[in-house]
Structure 1
Amino acid sequence: MPCEMCDRPAGADYLCARCTADLGLRLGQLPALYAALGSMLAPGRTADGGRGATLVEAPAPARLDVVDQRAEFGVLEVWARALAADRAVPVAVPGADDLGARATAACAALGAAVDWIASSWPAAGDCAGEVRGLFDGARSVVGAGDLPARMGRCPRLVHGAACGAELLLPQGQQVLRCGWCGATYPPGVWAALRVAQRDLAAAL
């Protein structure tokens, strides 16, 4: 059947291998995005702690766009609890007032169950869609900053098909590593990687 995120073949699963890998990667990065948003709460602050443009009018107590974006992280708890209910397996989501701690715990619970979500959970598409929307929204507020650079899709063949997982290069690292299939791409092969990625895109 088609993947519920991209309509590519997913076999008997709800998510294809690429979208499964992307879901896991985003869940792993969301806690850092939440922390980065916290550093931007003061008016005029940027994600790196610097100052933005000089404010002419009296500033608001906090950046409302950042407050709103952080509040959206509450959806992670909803999905973690739904996962626990549908699997009949307890998932520890702290009841603390700290939304960051609860979101981090929810990401850990969802991340640990990514393979089950993709293969067995009818809500997989809705969950992955909301996680992607949350990630993209937070990233648009934070900016690239110290987040990993997006380096295209992994073209390595796995069981006769391209892996297709998103490749992310953490700041300060020189070797790309696919979080799904484990393929590595040192700088010396990046030109060949781009060619393979173009061929992959043309074949899809």
Structure 2
Amino acid sequence: MDVSTCELCGEAAGGRYLCDRHTVQLALRLTALPALDDELALHLVPARTGFGEPVTGRGAGPRSPINESVLDLMEANRAAKVVHSRRVDVQRARWPEHSAPPPDGLAADCRWLGMELEWILSSYPAAGEMAREMHELERELRSLGADTGPRREGLCVAVTDDAGTVCGAVLSRGSDRVVRCRWCKTEYRTEQDLLLLMHYQPKEVAQCQQPR
């Protein structure tokens, strides 16, 4: 197989299975999927309205109908199963002598895949298939309303250790308008904080956030 072009778009990929644009998108999805999956519970009861104002599902009351699509997805634990299956396959391909890892939860499996992303891009023939799976999972979760929660605000630029490691997790803006990192707990509150956050965003992330 010619790995000089991206498996998703055919653009130059520098000897990898994905181009820079789709690499960034895959990394962002691996970071975002646990948060999107966690938000499913908030949409188990559909929102209803009263006196012309929207009322969230959480306050809808015991007689409100259950969102069966959300319930089915939660009961099937689909996101966790798909991502874990992909982690098992990546580990089998890289370390065939190792036994399969036990289920460790969606967040842990996404983090593990993110840490192995460099090897996946250069040495895992199913990298394109994996990227499509993560895209489909994200689309499915968002289609069920999980994207109506906190707004995504780019990547965390906080330095997390003495070696200068940047966190890089997906940020969200809560109802109190504060931008927070779910992983390192950094908060971006002031105008100066937000300006620095925007300034240090990777160029590829800004491009991927444009409408597609």
Common fold: TM-score over 0.5: yes
Matched, 1:112 2:119: no
Contact kept in structure 2, 1:33 and 1:142, CA below 8 Å = yes
Does 141-150 or 77-86 show the bigger shift?
141-150
Does 64-73 or 114-123 show the bigger shift?
64-73
Determine the structure 2 residue equivalent to 1:67. 71
Contact kept in structure 2, 1:20 and 1:115, CA below 8 Å = no
The Cα offsets for residues 2-54 of structure 1, whole Å up to 9 and x where unpaired, read as 2112221102110112211211111011111111012322x2359xx933897
Stretches of structure 1 that go unaligned for 5 or more consecutive residues are: 96-100, 151-167, 184-192
Map 1:54-203 onto structure 2 (within 5 A): 59-60=64-65, 62-70=66-74, 71-73=77-79, 74-88=81-95, 93-95=101-103, 102-140=105-143, 141-149=145-153, 170-171=172-173, 172=179, 173=188, 174=194, 175-176=197-198, 177-178=200-201
Stretches of structure 2 that go unaligned for 5 or more consecutive residues are: 49-54, 155-169, 174-178, 180-187, 189-193
**Gap change, CA 1:53 and 1:108, over 3 Å in 2:** closer
User: Could you tell me the TM-score, scaled by structure 1's length?
Assistant: 0.63
Tell me the distance in 2 between the aligned counterparts of 1:37 and 1:144.
10
Q: Report the CA distance between 1:102 and its aligned residue.
A: 1.8
Identify which of 43, 46, 61 aligns with 1:44: 46
Contact kept in structure 2, 1:44 and 1:53, CA below 8 Å = no
Equivalenced residues, count: 159
Identity of aligned residues (%): 29
User: Could you tell me the TM-score, scaled by structure 2's length?
Assistant: 0.61
Tell me the distance in 2 between the aligned counterparts of 1:128 and 1:31.
16
Tell me the distance in 2 between the aligned counterparts of 1:91 and 1:40.
37
C-alpha RMSD over aligned residues: 3.5
Matched, 1:4 2:7: yes
